[in-house]
Amino acid sequence: MFIDTHLHLSTEDYHIDEIKDILRQARRNGVKKYIVCGCSKSEIKNVLKIYPQMRSISFAFGYHPEFADSITKQDLLELQEFICHDRVVAIGEIGLDYHYNNENRQQQQKIFREQLQLAEKLNLPVTIHSRDAIEDTYQILSQYHVKGVIHCFSGSLEMAQKFIKLGFYLGIGGVITFKNSKLKNVIAKIGLEHVVLETDSPYLSPEPYRGKKNGPQNIYHIACFLADLLNISIEEVAKITTTNAMCIFDLK
């Protein structure tokens, strides 16, 4: 069994029939649990509406750094309410993104810190978005008692080891299958002991589907790639990464 620990699966990105179809395909490919993100107020409301009953789907709610400039005190209070939902297993994706906006670093850091405090208070793991901001992300995370996943990890071996030492797992998805990805060298060295699988659907489809819309069924292709890379069986990849995900997100 596989777990897709990070995906976006709302009707903002997919037609509702497409979602049903995708989930059927994913089940056939061995994906049995999903952590669906809601990283804006509209995405949170959307997923709460479409997944009231599906026990295989858990949620991670938090405000993505791209919305940092517009987040108000009221929004943060509302986030606390959203997080009280019994199927929320993490706060995320939260973090820093200097790639798209390099001018509001202070504001991004403020919103990031507010949500880390919330995670600390509620004792919830976090899923971290970090783009062109890995040093600042590390510095800030090291000041809080939080654990979680560095979603779409793409740093160096040294950074991987630093995050692991802090208690974090690395979220590995389609990027590792890309031809020029340096990530395979990192994972070849550290193995899967601190790795969870994710697709980040609808983004970042693995090879051979790169450029197409992603879906959780593609976890299987990421797992096959890792099995080849590490010269272990796909069952072993499933076993290790699923155990890690169950542990960090306290899934039942």
Spell out the residues 6+ positions from residue 71 whose beta carbon is closer than 8 angstroms to its own.
63, 111
Smallest separation (angstroms) from Zn ion to the CB of 21: 21
Interface positions with Zn ion (CB under 5 A)? 200
Q: Sheet harboring 88-97: ordered strands across?
A: 2-7, 31-38, 57-61, 88-97, 126-131, 148-150, 168-172, 195-197
Residue number, 129 or 194, with CB nearest to Zn ion: 129
Smallest separation (angstroms) from Zn ion to the CB of 27: 21
Residue number, 97 or 200, with CB nearest to Zn ion: 200
How many residues are listed for the chain in this entry?
Answer: 252
Smallest separation (angstroms) from Zn ion to the CB of 135: 21
Smallest separation (angstroms) from Zn ion to the CB of 225: 20
**Nearest residue to Zn ion, using CB?**
200
Residue number, 39 or 229, with CB nearest to Zn ion: 39
Element (H, E) at 88: strand 88-97
Smallest separation (angstroms) from Zn ion to the CB of 7: 7
Six-digit token pair at 241?
Answer: 């990464």
Smallest separation (angstroms) from Zn ion to the CB of 201: 9
Burial class (CB in 10 A: 0-12, 13-18, 19+), 128: buried
Residue number, 8 or 194, with CB nearest to Zn ion: 8
Element (H, E) at 168: strand 168-172
Residue number, 7 or 229, with CB nearest to Zn ion: 7
Pairing of strands 195-197, 168-172: parallel
Spell out the residues 6+ positions from residue 156 whose beta carbon is closer than 8 angstroms to its own.
186
Residue number, 4 or 200, with CB nearest to Zn ion: 200
